[in-house]
Structure 1
Amino acid sequence: MAATTVTDSGGVRIITEVIPATDPRAAQLTSGSSPPAPTVTSFQVRDFRKAQPKALGTIHIFTGIIHICFGIILTVSEHRTPSLPVASGVLFWLGLLLLLSGSLLVESEKRDNILLVKICCVVNMGVILSTLVATLLHTTAITHNIPGCDNYTPYQLKAEWCFSAETKILSNGLDSMFVIFCLLEFCVAVAALAFGYNAVRQHNYTRMVL
């Protein structure tokens, strides 16, 4: 039987009822008052969102569009004697990879899905390797002459643009700009990978404890 006590305090009457554990109402109160347990996935994704994946994804999308646009322009302008970055197609496949990475990062801001975080980690690992390769290609292009302007034979005629110093300056300027972009993309990918790996590791630990 429940015990009831009545207390008067400052014109307010407080009625306290103690319900024993065997009372059926105790089970109803316990089930109704307990807050719902947070899902495991939301906990891990919340940690990943500390990296601001939407902002990181926007950077990748923006730089990816720049890579593809310049890739089209340089491919058209250098169709006869393409430079090393243009011949390798790095501006296109790196640009597409950045668009994919950026889209996944922006989408991870909206969805509580640990699988999406794992996919972001894999794609950003590819971005890290690709930016290193792209940096190597652009720096190699800076240290070499413009294609078609090398002296293979003493009587070989050079193209007219080979005698213009502004052409090499412009080419080096573009390659230097892409090296800076690659450095930015590399840092963004490392940040996304670090936070993503931390979230995935916590997810595995939580599953083991449960």
Structure 2
Amino acid sequence: MATTTVTDAGSVRIITEVIPATDPRAAQLASGSKAPARTSFQTQVFLRAHPKVLGTIHIFTGIIHICFGIILTVSEHRNPSLPVASGILFWLGILLLVSGSLLVESEKRDSSVLVKTCCVVNVGVVLGTLVATGIHGTAITRNIPGCENPGPFQIRPEWCLSVHSKMLTNVLDSILVILSLLEFCVAVAVLAFGYDTVRQHTYTQLAL
């Protein structure tokens, strides 16, 4: 049974009610006094970059790279072009899938370690996109493999007489260059927000 105490302090009257633990109102007050769950201050900065959206972009472009890699590898198995021979389409696509998966997961979990991992992987994405842009740009300026200037007694293969094949490969390489630039911008955004997050986390640890 609840007990009530009335105390007069000048012009103020204080009423104190003691509720026993068996009273149903005690459970309601206990549940209402709990502080709501919140995201750690360190990861709030990183969440402003919308890592789920950036991760979805990386996953989508990574799938495109791998699909193009399979198609071009099958079609150019006899005379592979520079992007196919280097394998850039496959290992950059896998790197993008890993980066995208980590970014999507970082929005679900409050972990500074996961943010640091995203930053490390995206450093690889930045370097990979720069290498990919150089390889695709070189492929655009080069002739089709096997169609270089022949010697005085050499005849060019039949596929070298088709201008459309070279135009098609140039279009594909141009699309991949544009995708690489998009991936580069996304990775730089991740690194910028990730750097601020890691710096604030380090400052908080030193302050404590």
Q: Which moved more, 1:59-68 or 1:157-166?
A: 157-166
Q: 1:118 to 1:134 in 2, by over 3 A?
A: same
C-alpha deviation, 1:155, in angstroms? 2.0
Q: Which one of the candidate residues 144, 163, 170 is aligned to 2:142?
A: 144
Q: For the residues of structure 1 that align with 2:8 and 2:79, how far apart are their CA atoms? A: 95
Q: For the residues of structure 1 that align with 2:191 and 2:55, how far apart are their CA atoms? A: 12
Letter in 1 for 2:104: V
Q: For the residues of structure 2 that align with 1:6 and 1:35, how far apart are their CA atoms? A: 33
C-alpha deviation, 1:42, in angstroms? 1.1
Q: Which one of the candidate residues 174, 191, 194 is aligned to 2:189?
A: 191
Aligned length: 189
Query: What is the aligned partner in structure 1 of residue 3 from structure 2?
Result: none
Residues 6 and 16 of structure 1 are in contact (CA less than 8 Å); yes or no, is this contact kept in structure 2?
no
Q: For the residues of structure 1 that align with 2:34 and 2:206, how far apart are their CA atoms? A: 23
Residues 58 and 102 of structure 1 are in contact (CA less than 8 Å); yes or no, is this contact kept in structure 2?
yes
Query: What is the aligned partner in structure 2 of residue 153 from structure 1?
Result: 151
**Normalization by structure 2: what TM-score?**
0.84
C-alpha deviation, 1:45, in angstroms? 1.0
Q: For the residues of structure 2 that align with 1:157 and 1:98, how far apart are their CA atoms? A: 42
Deviations 1:79-112 (Å, cap 9, x if unpaired)? Answer: 0000000000000000000000000000001000
Q: For the residues of structure 2 that align with 1:127 and 1:176, how far apart are their CA atoms? A: 19
**Normalization by structure 1: what TM-score?**
0.83
Q: 1:94 to 1:174 in 2, by over 3 A?
A: same
Letter in 1 for 2:199: R
Query: What is the aligned partner in structure 1 of residue 60 from structure 2?
Result: 62
Give the secondary-structure state (helix, strand or coil) at the position aligned to 2:56: helix
Letter in 2 for 1:88: S
* Percent pairwise identity: 66
Q: For the residues of structure 1 that align with 2:8 and 2:148, how far apart are their CA atoms? A: 100
Residues 5 and 17 of structure 1 are in contact (CA less than 8 Å); yes or no, is this contact kept in structure 2?
no
C-alpha deviation, 1:46, in angstroms? 1.2
Letter in 1 for 2:69: G
Q: Structure 1 stretches (4+) deviating beyond 4 angstroms?
A: 32-39
C-alpha deviation, 1:207, in angstroms? 0.5
